[in-house]
Amino acid sequence: MHNRMMITGAGSGLGREIALRWAREGWRLALADVNDAGLRETLERVRAAGGDGFTQRCDVRDYSQLTALAQACEEKFAGIDVIVNNAGVASGGFFAELSLEDWDWQIAVNLMGVVKGCKAFLPLLERSKGRIVNIASMAALMQGPGMSNYNVAKAGVLALSESLLVELRQLEVAVHVVCPSFFQTNLLDSFRGPNPAMKAQVGKLLQGSPISAADIAEYMHERISAGEFLILPHEAGREAWRLKCQAPERLYDEMAEMAVKMRAKAGSRG
């Protein structure tokens, strides 16, 4: 390993904290985002933490921008060892309220952005015997109400990661998927949905979380080093996943009750 990592969505939030965690071990980082100012700040903090690297604007919906980023990693780092497909957007709303445009946007960024990232970088990873780290969500496992398009996109990231895990093992490319629950982040900056009350509810969940993006990055570092595939940073998330495996109908009942309460709070007929 040459300690070379690419991170999408590195201009803020979890992407920045992942960069800082690996920077403390001297990694060289290719930092990508659509937020140029955020990228500059991340790179400054990476250098202060002991790492180095470069920034490149990249919209993960555009495959040509991802292939250009891979080419830049080849030119500047002579390859790549780890890619972190972290870029994502938030959305919410009951299914009846969501437009097809809401679905297209969510799938384009949160699912196809990961697909395209893996596709663009796979040749470099095959050469370095590297790692793919895909950031999904507990929504990939739990499918809470009022966020069906987000749930589907993140479940797709999990399914993609499982597919790559088995396909790439023979090629010695490792795969990990991270499923955080709500955590303190600026994810609401990208929120899109038909009901403003839903955004407020999500905001309370984010702010009320006991875990930060830095905590998640630290947990990721530990579990990736241990070779763990499915990484669940929240203890409550791990408990919920165990419950779903053991008694799925009980979980569905709880989710249905949650939907009733959310509708009442949002004044929604969806």
* Residues 216 and 237: beta-carbon distance below 8 Å: no
The answer for residues whose C-beta is within 8 angstroms of residue 18's C-beta and 6 or more apart is: 7, 10, 84, 86, 217, 220
Question: Which stretches does DSSP call E strand in the chain?
Answer: 4-8, 28-33, 52-57, 82-85, 131-135, 174-178, 230-231
Q: SS3 for 3?
A: coil
Distance CA 270, CA 267 (A): 9
Concerning whether 150 is annotated as a catalytic residue, the answer is: yes
The answer for residues whose C-beta is within 8 angstroms of residue 25's C-beta and 6 or more apart is: 3, 50, 51
Looking at the DSSP assignment, which residues form a beta bridge with residue 8? 32
What is the distance, to the nearest Å, from the Cα of residue 68 to the centroid of all Cα atoms in its chain?
A: 21
* Residues 32 and 69: beta-carbon distance below 8 Å: yes
Give the closest residue to 18 by CA, choosing from 6, 35, 36, 34. Answer: 6
Catalytic residue among 63, 150, 219, 252: 150
Looking at the DSSP assignment, which residues form a beta bridge with residue 111? none
| Cα angle 207, 211, 214; round to 5 | 110
The answer for residues whose C-beta is within 8 angstroms of residue 230's C-beta and 6 or more apart is: 177, 179
Q: Which residues are catalytic?
A: 150
